[in-house]
Amino acid sequence: MVFSLLLIVAGFLGLIFGANWLVDGASGLAKKYNIPDLVIGLTIVAFGTSAPELVVNSVASIDGLSDIVLANIIGSNNFNLFLILGIAGLVYPITVQSSTAWREIPISLIITVVLFGLANDFFMNQNPVISRLDGIILLVSFVSFLYYIFKQMKTEKIEVIPYIQKTNLKIWSLILIGFGGLIIGGKLVVDNSIDIATDLGVSQKIIGLTIIAAGTSLPELITSIVAALKKNSDIAIGNVIGSNIFNILLIISISALINPIEYNPVFNQDFAILIGGTVFLIIAMFTGKRKKLDRWEALVLVVFYLIYTSYLVSKEL
């Protein structure tokens, strides 16, 4: 167990350094080609920080571990929304662009509700399962989302800000090394956390909703905190919302295409929390200082997540 703990520490270091390099490289790419930071956060950074979920879910789907597949994504999205965005908002109040408040956050809400319906088979009235057909539907939606992002990129108003230009070699080196650090670090943390949790006799559902979800979401956590410290709100929130969208549309779709995912209705409670949290975020954007997540609202997100996680763990005791 001591060796596993040392590997987890090594994983944390990989995540911290990888996230810092990724944010620097992504921001440099955005500035160099006049691409809005929000677009970078919703695509390159979001995909990179969702890589651990993709790896874990692909392996779990091949092994037929449906509870791990679902718990990892639902747990990761809740972790992203409540804890990561909450901590980032406590570090530095997050002000978002109009397009994020009006479109990307509601898109995240809509696809969560759609996945909830597909998982429970409300549309087909069959046994609850996320079928390969459902996976195709989600994957087509993912392609449509990417098209929307790149279409938005052409119409987004760009604020020209002076910056020290990086060379292409330095930019892509930072991005690629950052991705590598995130993926390797995330895998070290998750694999060794699973080993420790399994030794302690914790259920797959709880492992997925807590340890694996937190482990695979550590890239989002570190990336958003680094972005918040650098007062780059667009990458901070774009990373979280983009990752949640990627998790559902891309990772669940790939997992379902590998193997249909049997759905356990006990996850309905966790879905309800994710939907409620997204609604809260939308409301937060239009109360107080418009399009701004204030510190007290960020604190509400963090405190709720801690209570929710304590409740999950207490049910296992």
Cα separation, 100 vs 96, whole angstroms: 6
Q: Note the pTM of the prediction, 2 decimals.
A: 0.80
The alpha carbon dihedral of 244, 4, 87, 239 has a sign of negative
Q: How far is CA 176 from the centre of its chain?
A: 19
Cα separation, 81 vs 165, whole angstroms: 33
Greater pLDDT, 31 or 298? 298
| Res 41 pLDDT > 70 | no
Q: Are strands 261-262 and 129-130 parallel, antiparallel or unpaired?
A: antiparallel
Is 226:18 a contact under the CB 8 Å cutoff? no
Sequence-distant (≥ 6) Cβ neighbours of residue 134 within 8 angstroms: 118, 253, 256
- Give Dmax (Cα) for the chain: 57
CB neighbours of residue 117 within 10 Å: 14
Q: Which domains does the chain show, CATH number per domain?
A: 2-156+168-316 (1.20.1420.30)
Instruction: Please report the pLDDT score of residue 68 as a whole number.
Output: 84
Confidence of residue 154 (pLDDT cuts 50, 70, 90): low
Give the DSSP letter of residue 158. -
In tens, the pLDDT along 247-277 reads 999 999 999 999 999 998 889 999 999 999 9
Greater pLDDT, 104 or 77? 77
Sequence-distant (≥ 6) Cβ neighbours of residue 163 within 8 angstroms: 31
Reading phi first (left if > 0) and then psi (alpha if -120 to 50, else beta), residue 121 is in: left
In tens, the pLDDT along 171-225 reads 889 889 988 887 888 778 777 877 877 777 777 778 778 877 887 787 778 878 8
